[in-house]
Amino acid sequence: MRATFHLKTLAVAVATISVATMSHAAGLDRSGQDVTAFFQDGTYAEAVYTYIDADVSGYDSANGNPLNNDYIRGDKTGDIAESYDFFRYGVKADINDTFSIGVLYDEPFGASAEYIESNFVAQNDINASVESITAGQFTDFNTAKATLDNLVAAGDALPPELAADRDRLALGLGIVAAEAATAGDTTKVEVRSNNLTAILGMKLGENKNFQIYGGPVAQRIEAETRLRGTAYGPASGYTSRTSPDTDYGYLAGIAYSKPEIALKAALTYRSEIEHSSQTFEQYPLAPALSAGALPSSRNSTIETTTPKSVNFDFQTGINPTTLATAKVRWVPWSDFSIVPSLYTDATKSRFPGGLALVDYDDDQWQVEVGMAKRVAPALAVSGTVGWDSGAGNPTTSLGPIEGYYSVGLGAKYNVTPEWAVSAGGKYLWFGDAKGRLPTGKIVGDFDDNNGYIVGVKLSYQNTK
């Protein structure tokens, strides 16, 4: 006998579209850190697979001069966003009518991007690189090198304007040398994370309508970054590899439910988590930028703090077959930065205090509203519309989008009274953004981009 949806248990339909929700958002946000599995009635378990394919392309800058920040539209970058997938799992059980426990797994933060063409790729043609970096003043490496040698030989007798030319030319030829040493390499970033959350909840009140909940969070994160091509100026050739690190935080929240109308509301806070990760860096121009004070490679510990967040989840029955849903998420990405030791030290020659490799200007807001409808005794469908504010524009060249608008559809089919299969999809229109280096230089312009998300879920629920 198949299950039939009733208003009291219509809440299961909210899971329909959550297989493809809150993904590819601002900053490094991926999963949206969904906790709704913990609020399901009775004993509940789910396994969710999500696949994301985005098209993010634009134009690089024809201005290769590292000391000039003007943006001049150049060549097409091609699609820089790599498709990726991730899993989410959840299990929840009631100890009695007061206490509940749950365990959730997700992959909350990540990035996956690669430039395979344009001036974000280290080129074999050093003469073309010299011409780009010197804004056409020199068209071949040998002439530029001979000019530099003559300026260096003149020593301190040079007038200020020729001394400035010498320093600019030395920097430019250093960039060309770093590019030649990595010819063919692409700019690439890869960030992976894993979260495991344990939750204990306690229901309060005469009718057990209120619930407080919380628990520890274990988080593992690793990353690799490769900067190539004349777009990155003195940072061309930079590579960092951060070893996996696991650290801990916590989750806490409060919820209210009214089963008679399928109403559930929950406010969830996740703490920031501080990581101390072993990192290897290579920066070919670091010795030249520091007058020999810095090495070209370094092993060090990088301190990175993944951001706190607040999620608000809401649903209520509209009639015996219809459920309205809403989600709101806030993440303060403006507080987040990645500050590798060698990279930051090498930039102190031009920027007091040094620069972060990645940071963001604005906080992220996400809003998603939807409706779920029972259309047959064992079948429900749902739809959503969503908005993500992004984390500022211009933004990092390693993730050049400014939020999105989205629409989604999904369906849930109860195979048995306990087991169900859900599938959903979402289409996203990404906000236009300019890609910016930490120096402030605009190196890319990205517009008219989009993507899609698909997901499938297997769930079990026993409310007896």
pTM of the prediction?
0.89
- Burial class of residue 1 (count of CB atoms within 10 Å of its CB; 0-12, 13-18, 19+): exposed
129 within 8 A of 135, measured Cβ to Cβ = no
| DSSP assignment letter at 109 | B
Mean pLDDT for the stretch of residues 32-41: 91
Tell me, what's the pLDDT at 15?
43
DSSP 3-state assignment of 237? Answer: coil
Tell me, what's the pLDDT at 184?
85
Q: List pLDDT tens digits, range 177-199.
A: 887 888 888 999 999 999 999 99
Distances (CA, A) of 377 to 1, 42, 135, 349, 417: 11, 20, 69, 69, 11
**pLDDT, averaged across the chain:** 88
Q: For residue 28, which of 437, 428, 304 has the smallest C-alpha distance?
A: 304
Structure tokens at 384: 């959503």
| Percentage above 70 pLDDT, the chain | 94
Distances (CA, A) of 200 to 91, 119, 315: 12, 52, 22
Structure tokens at 406: 């989205």
Q: What is the DSSP string of 404-449?
A: EEEEEEEEEEESSSSEEEEEEEEEEEEPPEEEE-TTS-EEEEE-S-
Q: Which H or E element spans position 22?
A: none
79 within 8 A of 117, measured Cβ to Cβ = no
Tell me, what's the pLDDT at 101?
97
Neighbours of 318 (CB within 10 A): 15
**pLDDT over threshold 50, residue 126:** yes
| Percentage above 90 pLDDT, the chain | 56
Q: Which H or E element spans position 280?
A: strand 273-282
**pLDDT over threshold 90, residue 137:** no
CA 390 – CA 433 distance, rounded (Å): 10
Instruction: List phi, psi (to 5°) of 390.
Output: 80, 180
**pLDDT over threshold 80, residue 2:** no
Partnered with residue 462 across adjacent β-strands are 43
Q: List pLDDT tens digits, range 226-245.
A: 999 888 988 889 999 999 99
DSSP 3-state assignment of 223? Answer: strand
Q: List pLDDT tens digits, range 304-334.
A: 999 999 999 999 998 888 999 999 999 999 9
Of residues 394 and 124, more confidence is placed in 394
Q: For residue 294, which of 286, 305, 302, 303 has the smallest C-alpha distance?
A: 286
Minimum mean pLDDT among 2-6, 132-136, 277-281, 398-402: which range?
A: 2-6
Instruction: List phi, psi (to 5°) of 135.
Output: 55, 40
Per-residue pLDDT band for 83 (boundaries 50, 70, 90) equals confident
Residue located via tokens 């495991």: 196
DSSP 3-state assignment of 224? Answer: strand
Per-residue pLDDT band for 106 (boundaries 50, 70, 90) equals very high
Structure tokens at 159: 């007038």
Tell me, what's the pLDDT at 61?
92
Q: Look up the CATH superfamily of 10-110+190-462.
A: Outer membrane protein transport protein (OMPP1/FadL/TodX) (2.40.160.60)
Query: Domain locations in the chain?
Result: 10-110+190-462, 123-181
Tell me, what's the pLDDT at 20?
53
Mean pLDDT for the stretch of residues 45-52: 92
